Amino acid sequence: MPDFNTFETKIGYTFKDKRLIEQAFTHRSYLNENRSVGRLGREGPGRAGEHNERLEFLGDAVLELAVTEFLFAKYPEKPEGELTAYRAALVNTISISDAATKLGMNDYLLLSRGEARDTGRARQIILANAFEALIGAIYLDSGYTRAKEFIAAQLFHKTEDVVAKRLWQDAKSKFQEISQEKEGITPGYQLLDQSGPDHDKVFVVGAFIGGQKIAIGEGRSKQEAEQDAAQKALLAKGW
């Protein structure tokens, strides 16, 4: 079992209910491979021996609210559409998995041997899920204000970069606009593969221009995979 005390020191927060932090880092695959891990201590919100998907569900909602409040206050003149785009850029898989990586969350994940070997996009998704679960755990342990303080420390500093570099712009729209301008062709997308159980699917999508595959993207939904493919296609074409 990882030493979560070290991680608590790193984030400057000590859990009152230690079961919550353990649950936040526990992937479903770990429990499937370690069935002897008992579901103990059901008093209170933290549940030993349970995976992090419920905490992820809760943390996702807390994350979206905290970022929405921050952007609403920071940009009083911006219209709803731009604020929505800024928020999407701040809370997407790439952004929050990057924050999780900088916190060293990789070192504390409880995964099956198979999942532990995953790299690239698959590991990004696992890290993003754990980051959201950690937010959910802090929320249950100490409430919204403390959870928002954690989110602020990890994500809010990215906002200026998102706005200055137009990282909020929809990758598919940008790819289509430049492709039509330079190639005279509207790009298309094709589902190449999907794997995983219904609650944790990974979709693989190819971005094409005139039948030529430019890049491949992955995501937890077809839409997210298409956005990832479009972003990678922009890089591949040097656009």
Q: State the pLDDT at residue 111.
A: 87
The least confident of 84-93, 102-111, 180-189 is 84-93
List C-alpha distances in Å: 113 to 26, 156, 219. 13, 34, 22
Among 138, 164, 190, where does a domain finish?
164
Q: State the pLDDT at residue 102.
A: 96
Residues 125 and 24 in one domain: yes
Q: How, if at all, do strands 188-195 and 212-219 pair?
A: unpaired
User: What is the count of structural domains for the chain?
Assistant: 2
Confidence at 70, pLDDT banded by 50, 70, 90 = very high
Q: What is the pTM of this model?
A: 0.71
Residues 204 and 156 in one domain: no
> Which listed residue (17, 50, 56, 60) is catalytic?
60
Query: 168-191 pLDDT, tens per residue?
Result: 777 888 899 889 999 999 999 999
Cα gap 95→92, rounded to integer Å: 5
> Which listed residue (17, 22, 56, 132) is catalytic?
132
Q: State the pLDDT at residue 38.
A: 47
Using the structure block, give the residue that is written with the tokens 């709803």. Answer: 80
**Full residue range of the structural domain in which residue 189 is found:** 171-237
Cα gap 96→92, rounded to integer Å: 6
Beta carbons within 8 Å of 48's beta carbon, 6+ residues apart: 19, 22, 23, 37, 38, 39, 40, 41
Q: Is 60 a catalytic residue?
A: yes
Residues 91 and 33 in one domain: yes
Cα gap 210→136, rounded to integer Å: 44
Query: 40-49 pLDDT, tens per residue?
Result: 444 445 555 7
